[in-house]
Chain A
Amino acid sequence: MCTWMTEQIGIAGAARGVPDWLKVTRANVFYDHPVSAPFDHALIIDFVNPDAGVGARVGIELSAASAWELVRAITAALESPEAQADLAAERHVLPGPEHETVS
C-alpha cells in the first residue's frame, strides 16, 4: 500500500545532481572538507555506480547537525510497517560484506 508518510526536515548543505535516474551500487560516506557546501567540514555522501564512470554520482554535503537530522528522519521513515516488513523478510539485502573502509 502507499504509505504517504514523509519526514520533512530542514537541512543546510549542497547537492550535485544528475539529469535523469541513475543506477547506484555504492554509497561513499565520509566527514571531511566539502567541495561546495560553505562549511569547513561536512558529512558527505556520494551515491555512485563505479562501473559507469566517475560521473555516475549523486553527491550531498551536509552540516553535521543536518546529517543527524537526516539520520533521525531515515530512522523514523523506517518505522513504517512496510519498511519493517521488508526488513523482516530480508528483501533486497545485498550479498556479501558491504562495509569497506579506506584511508
Chain B
Amino acid sequence: MKEGMIVEVVGFEGYEDTVIEGYLARPVTAGPTPGVVVLHHAPGLDPWCKEVVRRFASRGYTAVAPHLYHRRGPGHWADVAAAARAEGLAKAMPNDQVMGDIAGAAAYVRAQPGANGRVGVIGFCSGGRQAFLAACDVPSLDAAVDCWGGSVLPQPPDPGRPGPAPKGVIHRAPDMAMPLLGIFGNDDLNPAPEQVDEIERVLTKHGKSFEFFRYDGAGHAFFASDKPNYRQEQAVDGWERVFEFYNEHLR
C-alpha cells in the first residue's frame, strides 16, 4: 500500500490526436510502476470512478481515467455527460473513438516517470464492454478487466427500446491479444449468467486466455460503494482478484 500519491487532471492525445481530459493518480515511489486505464460507466467520470483511479495509485499503479465524453464539452463533467447520454451511446461514445482514446491514455501512462512499460485496462458497465473490445483492438495494452460489461453479446430486438438492438463486440473475440479477467454478478440482467456462459464458450473456442469470477448474491455494479447494489463481501473479493490479475500480468 502506497501512502503518498499525486492526483491531477491531465490532457493527452486521444483518437485522431484530439487532446482530451483525463483524471490521473500515481504513487509517490522510486520503483517501477505499471499503468492502468480506467473506463468510466455511463454516468461519466464521476466521483466513484475517480475513487477507483486513486485506489489503483494506492496499490502502486499509475492510473488514468479518460473523460470519454470530453468532446461533448466544455462544461462540468455531469452536464457534459448528460448532453452526451441524451444523444445516445453510438454518438456519445463510438467504438473507434473510444479505442483511440484508450490507446492514447495507455501511451500517456507509459510515458510517465518510472513507468515499467506495462499497461492494463479496466472498465465498468459500458466501460466493461469497451475493455473487452480494447483487448481485441488496442494491442499496446497488456491485460484487460471487464467488470459486468453489458451488451458484449448481440442483444435481441426489444420493442420497448428505441433504435437498433446493440450488435455486441463478441465477434471480435478471435482478435483478443491479451489475458482477460471478467467480474460478474449472478443476479445481473445484462450480462445475465447465461450470457456470461456464452462469452466463456466463445473465448474457450478461440483458445483465449481468460478467467471469470462470478458472484452469487450480487447483481450489476456491485463494486459501486455509493449505490444499493454494492455488495461488501463480493466486492472485497472481486477487487483482490483484480489486483492478483494485474500483479501477474503487469509487474
Contacts and interface: CB of A to CB of B under 8 A. Distances in A.
Contacts of B125: 33
Contacts of B44: 35
Interface in A46-76: 46, 48, 50, 53-55, 57, 59
Interface residues of B, number: 36
A28 B81 CA distance: 13
Contact of B76 (A34, A36, A55, A102): A55
Contact of A33 (B43, B87, B161, B163): B43
Interface residues of A, number: 22
Q: Describe A's contact surface by its main secondary structure.
A: loop
A32 interface: yes
A101 interface: yes
Interface stretch (B57-65, B136-144, B225-233): B225-233
A38 B219 CA distance: 16
A40 interface: yes
B88 A57 contact: no
B9 interface: no
B239 to A, nearest CB: 19
Contacts, number: 73
A57 B82 contact: yes
B83 A48 contact: yes
A55 B79 contact: yes
A101 B162 contact: yes
A33 B42 contact: yes
Contact of A59 (B80, B82, B162): B82
Given A35-B44, A103-B161, A103-B163, A46 B86 contact: yes
Contacts of A28: 82, 85-86
A62 to B, nearest CB: 15
A16 B77 CA distance: 12
Contacts of A34: 43
A103 B88 contact: yes
20 contacts: A16-B79, A28-B82, A32-B42, A33-B41, A34-B43, A35-B43, A35-B46, A35-B78, A35-B82, A39-B227, A48-B83, A54-B73, A54-B76, A54-B82, A54-B83, A55-B75, A57-B83, A102-B87, A103-B88, A103-B89
Given A40-B219, A54-B74, 18 more contacts: A33-B125, A33-B221, A36-B78, A40-B220, A46-B86, A54-B73, A54-B76, A54-B79, A54-B80, A57-B83, A59-B78, A59-B82, A101-B162, A101-B163, A102-B163, A103-B88, A103-B89, A103-B161
Closest 9 CB pairs of A and B: A103-B163, A101-B162, A102-B88, A54-B75, A28-B86, A54-B83, A54-B79, A35-B43, A40-B229
